[in-house]
Amino acid sequence: MKRIAHVIVDVPTMQTDQPFSYLIPDHLASLVDVGIRVEVPFGNGNRHIQGFVVAIEEHQDGVDDNQLKPLIDVLDLAPVLNDELLLLAQDMAKTTYSFKITCLQTMLPSVMRSTYNKYLVVKEAIPEIIDEEVFLGLARRDWEEIKNSPYLAELHKLRQNGQIDIQYEVTTKNKIKTMSVVSSNKSPSEFIEIKQNLRKNAHQKHRLVDFFIEHTVGEFTIKELVDIHDLSRQVIREAVDLGWLIQREEEVYRDPYKHKSFKPDQALILNDEQQSALDKVSASMDERVSDVFLLEGITGSGKTEVYLQAIAKAVEKGETAIMLVPEISLTPQTVERFKRRFGDKVAVLHSGLSQGEKYDEWRKIERKEAQVVVGARSAVFAPLENIGLIIIDEEHETSYKQDESPRYHARDLAIWRGDYHKCPVLLGSATPSLESRARAQKDVYKLLKLTKRASENAILPTVEVVDMRQEMMEGTGGSFSRTLMSGIENRLEKKEQIVLLLNRRGYSSFIMCRDCGYVLPCPNCDISLTLHMDTKTMKCHYCGHEEAIPNKCPVCDSRKIRYYGTGTQKVEEELQDLLPQARILRMDVDTTRKKGSHERLLEKFGTHDADILLGTQMIAKGLDFPNVTLVGVLNADTALNLPDFRASERTFQLLTQVSGRAGRGDKQGEVVIQTFNPKNYAIVLATSQDYDKFYQHEMQLRHRGNYPPYYFTVQLVVSHEEEVVAAKKMYEIVVLLKDYLSNKAIILGPTPKSVARVNKRYYYQTVLKYRFEPRLEEALQKILQDSQVDIRKGLRVSIDTEPQHFI
C-alpha cells in the first residue's frame, strides 16, 4: 500500500493552482496528515518549497507511481488548518478570483509563511580562484552573500557543467519561546547530607541547597531564582550537572496583556430593547440555525453589552465565539471590556501585536485554551471549533474588505462559517452599510433595533451646523469658527474635555509656488507631495518617496513657496497659538506609528492629562470618555468631494460616529459640525442621527444611478510601466467581457484610475455593474487564466468583486 499526499504548493500561478501528488516516504508516514505543511521538491530544478497537504490517497501497490517525487519533510507536528478552513480556502479562492495557496497562507499568522534560503554547493572540483574567492574554501555558500560576486558568469558555466549546484531550503519562522525551569531532584534528607559535605565558604551552594530543602516540590524559573532568590546562574548550572536539580524548557506565551490585571465585571441588567435583541439571537443559538441578524443601534445604545451577554451564553454552553471589530477601534478600552468579562478565555488578534505575539495568541486558540476571539479582519480565520456565535461590530467599516489578494470581505466569510457551524451571525452598527440594511429590509437578515442610549442619563448630544462660507464672509480666517472656538473655551473653563476631528493627515496637503503655480509632484506617481513638518520632508502618500523641502521654486527660482491646505499638525499649531493654556493631544498616522503609542495617547486623554484630542478618523470610533462634552468636526466636506458613489454614506457614517463620542456620561454633550455644504442631506441627517431617513434617501439615489445594493459591482484593474500597454490590455479585457455578458450589464471604462500613475506604473480600470449575469464567473476565470501569460510581460491584472474604493 502506497500513500500519496495531494499538495498545494507555494507557487502562486494559474498552472500550479491545483494539488500536486507526492509519495509519502515511510519515515514520514506517521507524521503526514491533511492540513499539515510540508516541504516538497518542485519543478525541473527540484527546488524545495512549502506546500499544504489537502488530501491523502491510499494506493494499491503496482500502480505506476515511479515518477512521483517523495515529500522531503513535514513542517508541523499537527495540522495547522482543519477540514473546515481547508474547505473555506477553496471557496474563497473561487469567489475572490485568487490562488488557493494565497488563500491558505492568508489564514495563518504571517510568521508561518515560509522563507526560502538559496545556497550554492560544490559538487566536483572547481577552479582554484572560484574556490578561494567565492566559496572561501567551503562546500556551500548562502546565495545572499555572494549574489553580487564578479564571478557570476563563471558560476553559471560551472552549474551547467554540473560542478556546482543550487540548493533551496525552506525555513519557517514560527519559533516557540521557551523559558528554563528547574525543580528539585533530591529529597530534603539527601540535600541535608549534601549540605554537610559542602565547604564552609561555598556560600552560593549553601544558599541553593537551603532553598531546595525548603522547596521540595514545584518548578522555578532560572530567572526568578536569580532575580528574587539571589542565586547565581553558575551555581544553578552546576547543581543541574551534579544531578541535584532537573532542568526543563517550558513553552511560554508572549502575552501582550500579561502586565495588566483586569478587574472582573458583571453583566448589566439589560433594557427591554437589549433584552429582546439578546433573546432572538439566543433562540437561534439554541436551535442551531445560521440566521444573520443586523443590530441597528444608535451610538451608546448598548450594543456591546448585548454582544458580551450573547457570547457569555455561547461560553456557558461550552461553545466558542468570534468577535470582529475594525482595526482602528480595537482600542485598549474594547479589549478591556472583553478581558474583564471573560478573563483568560479571550485571545486578542490585531496588527499592534508583534509577529511572535500574534503567533502565540493563535496557538492559544488552536489548543482550545481560548474560547473567545476578539480581533480585526483576519480573526475571521481563527481556528476555533464548535463556534456558537460570530459577531461583526461596526459592520459597515470598509476595513473588513482586504484590499490585496485574496480580496475577501470578512462579512461573507463569517456568514460562510456560520452556515458551516449552524450558528447565528450578528452584524452590528449605528450606521449599517446600505447593502446589509437592504438585505434586512428584504428579510434576508433579521433586523434588531436599539433606539435609545443605554446608560441612564445619557441622551443624544445637540448638534449645530456652522456654515463656513458665511463664516469666511464675516471675516473669520483659519480653521475655527466662532461657535466652535467659544465652545472650546467654555469647556476648558469647566475642566471638561473636547474631541476635534480633522479628516486628513500631514502638515499641509501640498506646497505651491505663488509666482508660477508650480506644485511639487512625486517623481513616481501622478500626485503632489505632502509636507511633513515632523520629519521636515516632502512625502508621497502612495509610494513613500521622500525628499527635502525646497526653499525656492525648481521651475522659476522664486522664493515665494507657500503651504496650502490643512493638516492635523498645522491645526494643532493654530489651536495652540489661540489657546496657549490648552493641553492638546494629536492623534494621526504620524503620531501613532510606534507600537503602543495609540494606547498611550488614549490613556493620557482618559486620565485627563490633556484637554483636547485632535485627530483623524481614528478618533471617531469606539471611544467612551464620559468627560467629553464637546465634539468638533473641522471639515465635514473632505469625504463628500471624493469621486465615489459611497461618498455620502461615508460622510454620514463618520459624522454619526464622531458625534456619538459626545455626552456619554451624565453631562449633556454638544457637537459642532463645520461645513461648506450645510444643506447636504448626509450632513443634515447626521445631525439628527436619523439613519432610517438617510437610508431611504440614499437608496433612491442608488436606484436611480444603478449602484449597489441594486446592482453588483466588479472592478478590473490593469497596470504596467508603459501606459499604452496597460490601456491596450484593458481594452482587450473589455472586448472579452462583452462576449460573455448580456446587454443589461453596464461597463464603465476603460478609464485611467484617478491617480493614473503610482510607483512608476500606469493604472487603467473598468467597473462592471450588473444584476444577473450567468456567464460572468466564467469570463472572470478566463481573464484570471490569461493574466498568467501576461505577468511575464510585466502586466498585472486584478479582479475585485464588490470593491470598497473606486479611486
Give me the residues that bind Zn ion (CB under 5 A), please: 513, 515-516, 518, 522, 524-525, 540, 542-543, 545, 553, 555-556, 558
- Partner whose binding site includes residue 454, from ligand ADP, Zn ion, none (CB under 5 to 8 Å by kind): ligand ADP
List phi, psi (to 5°) of 698.
-65, -35
**Residue 361 near residue 108, CB atoms below 8 Å:** no
- Partner whose binding site includes residue 176, from Zn ion, ligand ADP, none (CB under 5 to 8 Å by kind): none
Work out how close the CB of 549 gets to Zn ion at its nearest, in angstroms, rounded to a whole number: 15
Q: Encode 665-697: b = buried (16+ Cβ within 10 Å), e = exposed.
A: bebebbbbbbbbbbebbbbbbbbebbbeebbeb
Work out how close the CB of 487 gets to ligand ADP at its nearest, in angstroms, rounded to a whole number: 23
How many Cα atoms are found within 13 Å in the side-chain-facing hemisphere of 659? 30
Work out how close the CB of 542 gets to Zn ion at its nearest, in angstroms, rounded to a whole number: 5
Range in contact with ligand ADP (rule: CB under 6 A) among 160-168, 302-310, 698-706, 770-778: 302-310
How many Cα atoms are found within 13 Å in the side-chain-facing hemisphere of 115? 6
Under rule CB under 6 A, residue 304 binds ligand ADP: yes
Under rule CB under 6 A, residue 341 binds ligand ADP: no
Location of C-alpha cell 563563471: 154
Cα–Cα dist 8/5, whole Å: 10
- Partner whose binding site includes residue 572, from ligand ADP, Zn ion, none (CB under 5 to 8 Å by kind): none
Work out how close the CB of 297 gets to ligand ADP at its nearest, in angstroms, rounded to a whole number: 5
Cα–Cα dist 10/17, whole Å: 9
Work out how close the CB of 462 gets to ligand ADP at its nearest, in angstroms, rounded to a whole number: 19
Which residues in 252-271 contact ligand ADP (CB under 6 A)? Answer: 268-271
Beta strands in 468-549 (DSSP E): 497-501, 510-513, 530-532, 537-539, 546-548
Name every residue whose Cβ is closer than 8 Å to that of residue 787 and which is 6 or more positions away in sequence. Answer: 14, 795, 796, 797
At residue 770, the 3 state secondary structure works out as strand
Selected from 19, 79, 297, 375, the binder of ligand ADP by CB under 6 A is 297
Q: Which is nearer to Zn ion, 138 or 516 (CB)?
A: 516
- Partner whose binding site includes residue 415, from ligand ADP, Zn ion, none (CB under 5 to 8 Å by kind): none
Under rule CB under 6 A, residue 303 binds ligand ADP: yes
Selected from 50, 114, 274, 656, the binder of ligand ADP by CB under 6 A is 274
Under rule CB under 6 A, residue 505 binds ligand ADP: no
Q: Which is nearer to ligand ADP, 163 or 333 (CB)?
A: 333
Joined grid coordinates for residue 369: 485554551
- Partner whose binding site includes residue 525, from ligand ADP, Zn ion, none (CB under 5 to 8 Å by kind): Zn ion
Work out how close the CB of 666 gets to ligand ADP at its nearest, in angstroms, rounded to a whole number: 11
Q: Encode 148-170: b = buried (16+ Cβ within 10 Å), e = exposed.
A: eeeeeebbeebeeeebbeebbeb
- Partner whose binding site includes residue 274, from Zn ion, ligand ADP, none (CB under 5 to 8 Å by kind): ligand ADP
- Partner whose binding site includes residue 305, from Zn ion, ligand ADP, none (CB under 5 to 8 Å by kind): ligand ADP
Cα–Cα dist 190/756, whole Å: 80
Q: Which is nearer to ligand ADP, 322 or 714 (CB)?
A: 322
Whether the bond into 709 is cis, omega within 30 of 0: yes
Under rule CB under 6 A, residue 455 binds ligand ADP: yes
CA distance to 299, 429, 491, 687, per residue, from 656 (Å) = 8, 11, 22, 7
Q: Which is nearer to ligand ADP, 426 or 454 (CB)?
A: 454
Under rule CB under 6 A, residue 302 binds ligand ADP: yes
Length of the chain: 807
Work out how close the CB of 428 gets to ligand ADP at its nearest, in angstroms, rounded to a whole number: 7
Q: Which is nearer to ligand ADP, 301 or 804 (CB)?
A: 301
Work out how close the CB of 168 gets to Zn ion at its nearest, in angstroms, rounded to a whole number: 35
Under rule CB under 6 A, residue 624 binds ligand ADP: yes
DSSP for 438-488, please give it: HHHHTTSSEEEEE-S-SSTT--PPEEEEEEHHHHHHTT--SS--HHHHHHH
- Partner whose binding site includes residue 397, from ligand ADP, Zn ion, none (CB under 5 to 8 Å by kind): none
Alpha helices in 300-433 (DSSP H): 303-316, 332-342, 355-366, 410-421
Nearest by Cα to 383 from 55, 89, 49, 101 = 89
Work out how close the CB of 275 gets to ligand ADP at its nearest, in angstroms, rounded to a whole number: 9
Q: How far is CA 747 from the centre of its chain?
A: 32
Cα–Cα dist 572/562, whole Å: 19
Q: Which is nearer to ligand ADP, 105 or 431 (CB)?
A: 431
Q: Which is nearer to Zn ion, 201 or 551 (CB)?
A: 551
Selected from 301, 656, 689, 766, the binder of ligand ADP by CB under 6 A is 301
Nearest by Cα to 302 from 275, 263, 322 = 275
Cα–Cα dist 471/489, whole Å: 18
Work out how close the CB of 299 gets to ligand ADP at its nearest, in angstroms, rounded to a whole number: 5
Cα–Cα dist 250/32, whole Å: 26
Q: Which is nearer to ligand ADP, 522 or 602 (CB)?
A: 602
**Residue 480 near residue 624, CB atoms below 8 Å:** no
Location of C-alpha cell 491596450: 728
Selected from 284, 299, 508, 657, the binder of ligand ADP by CB under 6 A is 299
Work out how close the CB of 456 gets to ligand ADP at its nearest, in angstroms, rounded to a whole number: 6
Binding-site size, ligand ADP (CB under 6 A): 16
- Partner whose binding site includes residue 516, from Zn ion, ligand ADP, none (CB under 5 to 8 Å by kind): Zn ion
Q: Which is nearer to ligand ADP, 270 or 579 (CB)?
A: 270
Contact set with ligand ADP (CB under 6 A): 268-271, 274, 297, 299-305, 454-455, 624
